[in-house]
Chain A
């Protein structure tokens, strides 16, 4: 009975993480489309929400990878999964509060690794083949590659369309952004919703609801995960959208198209060979590359530097929060009391952050009028 209560709390926490993932990562897909006026904001996030939902049903391979390649699934317990999810949610909320695009995927992996490290020791973590080979190295390569590809693409695009009438070129690239943004949203749904599906399935295996010899993702897990990420996407993290869309540099429609197209190419090429990577880091690299190639001084390097700091901090910070959460949860024993107390605290903290942010937004709006 006690473990059933815990598994319900873990599933609810995983869906809450999925919601923050959609909420936080909406910026990847729609920021450039909104800033270049390729689509009105509400339509852009609605479009991304629908394609995120569809993308979640496309494939289930990533769900299995998350459940098997980073930590040893045989040794992981429900409390470790819960603590890892809390670490990821807390980091996502903090970076949202400061308007920093950071990786939800790395936050999830970091949180789980931190909690498992404290709970089961380093032997339960696949450091070389999992963390280094599948997380760290792709995390270094993908943004640099996206930066270079977007930079090269925008230089060649400017040469190709330089003699066109600007209004026609802008209209054409805005249309292109609708397509490339849709592709990004689909790729995001395929990758990120499945990470949550993998974690929920891992919890069901740990609880004995699913036999480890019969690893499969139940239909209700697919449907609820797809719904949570698409609702989160629709609600939208407007602060991060602002950072990605206009604070890094003021982009035109051709740059927006180059950034989205290059980002989608890197994500799909990496997915094809099985590297799970962060869509946030990739698109951020592409956005910075499309600005730097036009003019180095066009990029606000201070904002870009903050994003890089958030990239570097995501894994260790979410791991630290995951580890601390596990210690706090475990202090209440192995029953449901710990998860209930921690869930209440994280809900209270999230509510406080939302209220503070709403008050600041209201003050800013009042000052502007």
Chain B
């Protein structure tokens, strides 16, 4: 079986899929949460919380964007 399929490659598929699939979708969820909370706290006049959540939203959005660029790179580089 080991000669038929590279178990190292198979394990790489498993861990990268979990990392990318769970990681990127959850980071996108956190980006939405951050931007949503930032708006809410901003409206309530709570600047510090708004800035913290805004930073979370921006950082997570940048993470999602970077993942998208990396995914396209993987496709092109194949």
Contact = CB atoms under 8 A, between A and B. Distances in A.
Contacts of A173: 32
A352 interface: no
A59 B75 contact: yes
Contacts of B29: 156-157, 160-161, 254
Interface in A269-289: 269-275
Contacts, number: 124
Nearest to B28: A176
Contact of A273 (B13, B21, B72): B13
A205 interface: no
A43 to B, nearest CB: 20
A128 interface: yes
Contacts of A179: 68
A269 B32 contact: no
- The secondary-structure label for the interface of chain A is helix
B52 to A, nearest CB: 15
Most buried by A among B10, B14, B33, B78: B78
A255 to B, nearest CB: 10
B44 interface: no
A190 B16 CA distance: 20
A262 B25 contact: yes
A152 interface: yes
Nearest to B65: A179
B49 interface: no
A10 interface: no
13 contacts: A58-B76, A128-B3, A137-B5, A149-B18, A156-B22, A163-B33, A165-B36, A183-B72, A254-B29, A261-B21, A262-B22, A273-B13, A275-B9
Interface of B: 3-6, 9-10, 12-14, 16-18, 20-22, 24-26, 28-30, 32-33, 35-36, 68, 71-72, 74-76, 78
> Which are the 8 A-B pairs with shortest beta-carbon distances?
A265-B21, A149-B21, A262-B21, A265-B20, A172-B32, A160-B29, A273-B9, A133-B4
